[in-house]
Amino acid sequence: MTIFKDKQLRSIAEKVEAGERLGYEDGLALEASADLLGLGAMANTVRERINGDNAYYIVNRHINHTNVCVNTCRFCAFSRKEEDQDAYTMELDNVMEQAAKSKGERFSEFHIVGGLHPTMPYDYYVEMIGRLRLEYPHIHLQAFTAVEIAYFAQISGKSVPQVLAELKEAGLGSLPGGGAEIFAERVRKKICPEKIDAEEWLAVHGAAHEAGLNTNATMLYGHIETPEDRIDHLIRLREQQDRTGGFLTFIPLAFHPQNTRYEKIAKASGIMDLKMIAIARLMLDNFPHIKAFWIMIGEKMAQLSLSFGADDVDGTVVEEKITHAAGAVTAQEIAQERLVRLIEEAGRVPVERDTVYNVVGA
Ligand code: V47
Ligand code: SF4
């Protein structure tokens, strides 16, 4: 019995079986295929080759220190201008209060991202990391997307490597993967015209890797991008990983249209969510992990993703503002016991990890 309905997938399956790298045309064939189970079976082979039956999760807390942003990305429902009624910016004491909510609980990561604030000084960010490090020396600080790092360089007049070195010295542990969106210039100019371009995004991650900081990578799908744009995006990430090697995880992010300027675009389907996970696992042969972020695709799709290439479901999260501003109907937080049950039901072995994939409690 052959599992491939789509005959084109058979030659790709031979490459996957032999551990050969897939090319751009292969990627487009994967995109064009409606053979979801064939795609899933191939991705699952790679997933089990790299990560066995392990399915990772983390006990973490997200902190979004400000929603004020100088940019106006068309897909973003989170950002505000300073004069807006619901604009907020946390003083450092307020950031510490947010973090203190986790006191008494066993957290291993703070995940911190925010808007590009027009007036907060560079020192605010260095101090934020420094104070959190002092108060929570055992909690990993994953903070500031490449877009924020490039902005800090701009407002401080320092170079990106200098900013990264100062933040690392203050206690920064790694960078999250946001801000990548879609690398293709044509799309980027439309969806986020003010944002740093693909080369700059990749250069910040390269500089972070060279400074000894691991980073993640994302791709925002389900808006105005084409299959060609998505495969181009994945190949550019793969090339950067060949050069500097510090990416840990890739996270496909499903676009949520509500309250954005693309409100008329329909939300990505379940098939699309699973295909993005599977194609990422197959194309990103040099990425150790593929994450299904349950906040974006829901607990049920995240659970299914564990059989379609994903080996990570992110974490407890506690409070998420970016996707919820854009209409996410998922909860804000998930109990560790529930994450464990979702993973076990999928036939995988739950492994609690820290940000850099050390096993917690091992
Ligand atoms: O960069 C913004 C995306 C990202 C919307 O590194 C939207 O482990 C969907 O990057 N619909 C921030 N997505 C979140 C992010 C992230 C999340 C979880 C884990 C990690 C990690 C990184 O959210 C932004 C942007 O690409 N985003 N608006 C929206 N309407
Ligand atoms: Fe600002 Fe980020 Fe939203 Fe763009 S996606 S408007 S950079 S907060």
Digit-coded pLDDT (tens) for 314-332:
888 777 788 888 888 777 7
- Return the CATH number at 231: 3.20.20.70
The candidate with the shortest Cα–Cα distance to 98, out of 134, 65, 69, 123, is 65
Instruction: Kindly state whether residue 339 falls inside one of the protein's structural domains.
Output: yes
Instruction: Kindly state whether residue 22 falls inside one of the protein's structural domains.
Output: no
Instruction: Kindly state whether residue 255 falls inside one of the protein's structural domains.
Output: yes
pLDDT given at position 2: 57
Sheet hosting strand 247-254, strand order edge to edge: 60-63, 109-112, 140-143, 174-175, 214-221, 247-254, 289-290
Question: Which ligand has the shortest distance to the CA of 216?
Answer: 1
Instruction: Kindly state whether residue 250 falls inside one of the protein's structural domains.
Output: yes
Nearest-CA residue for ligand 1 atom 8 is: 176
Digit-coded pLDDT (tens) for 162-207:
999 999 999 999 999 999 999 999 999 999 999 999 999 999 999 9
DSSP letter assigned to residue 249? E
CA 91 from chain centre, in angstroms, equals 26
The model's pTM is: 0.96
Instruction: Kindly state whether residue 25 falls inside one of the protein's structural domains.
Output: no
Instruction: Kindly state whether residue 47 falls inside one of the protein's structural domains.
Output: no
Q: What spacing in Å lies between the alpha carbon of 77 and ligand 2's midpoint?
A: 9
Q: What spacing in Å lies between the alpha carbon of 75 and ligand 2's midpoint?
A: 8
Instruction: Kindly state whether residue 100 falls inside one of the protein's structural domains.
Output: yes
pLDDT at residue 1 greater than cutoff 70: no
User: Stretch 39-61: mean pLDDT, rounded?
Assistant: 95
Ligand 1 pocket test: pick from 188, 253, 334, 355 the residue with the most ligand atoms within 8 Å of its Cβ: 253
Ligand 1 pocket test: pick from 322, 332, 353, 354 the residue with the most ligand atoms within 8 Å of its Cβ: 322
Nearest-CA residue for ligand 2 atom 7 is: 71
Long-range contacts, stretch 266-273, CB < 8 angstroms, 24+ apart: 267/222, 267/327, 268/221, 268/222, 270/301, 270/304, 271/36, 272/221, 272/222, 273/297, 273/301, 273/305
pLDDT given at position 362: 63
Instruction: Kindly state whether residue 35 falls inside one of the protein's structural domains.
Output: no
Question: Which ligand has the shortest distance to the CA of 180?
Answer: 1
**Structural domains of the chain, count:** 1
Structural domain containing residue 61 = 52-352
Cβ proximity of 165 and 197 under 8 Å: no
